[in-house]
Amino acid sequence: MDSTTLDNIEIPHKSLFPEISFYTRIKLFLGCLLLSLLLTFLAWTMILISLKSFATIYTFATVLCLFSIMFLVGPMEQLQSMFIMTRIIASMILILSILLTLLSALKWKKAVLAIIFSSIQFLSFIWYALSYLPYAQTILKHFCQTTCTSFCYCC
């Protein structure tokens, strides 16, 4: 699709900045998503240099990734969708792990805890993101069960 076709698409949700075209919102979404991936990579390279920088950058990257979705569906729709039955556990674990990552690095100054909570943050975000794709969580569960079962038979 070219930009003229995408500019005329109507979105039923109240997106962030509804006055801009759908094509522009897609570009902003992808830009935020790409920036969050780059920041995530940067954060993991900073872990040996500065725990504070790692936790701050990594958490900002996660929040930026969540924020990027608001360009497509809007802030209220995003917040409401985070707390529906299929996502509430992943959302709560994600929010809690974000807070615990920051606390463990900035207040408690415990690198091991920061790494554990940032890993939980990553996994809960993946689980949260998969909740938007039909059957994706089921496929991942089946894959993990099959992999664990195969690994157990090998040992």
Position 53 confidence tier, pLDDT thresholds 50, 70, 90:
very high
Position 2 confidence tier, pLDDT thresholds 50, 70, 90:
very low
What average pLDDT does the structure give for the chain? 86
Residue ranges per domain, the chain?
Answer: 3-154
How far separated are the first and last CA of the chain, in Å rounded?
51
List C-alpha distances in Å: 46 to 41, 49, 138. 9, 5, 34
Asked if the model's pLDDT at residue 80 lies above 60, the reply is yes
pTM of the model: 0.80
Mean pLDDT of 81-95: 93
List C-alpha distances in Å: 68 to 25, 47, 50, 152. 9, 25, 27, 40
List C-alpha distances in Å: 109 to 27, 53, 97, 115. 38, 12, 16, 11
131 phi, psi to nearest 5 deg: -65, -15
Contact 123, 140 (CB under 8 A): no
- Residue 94 CA, distance from chain mean position: 8
H-type alpha helices, the chain: 3-7, 22-46, 51-73, 75-82, 88-102, 111-130, 136-154
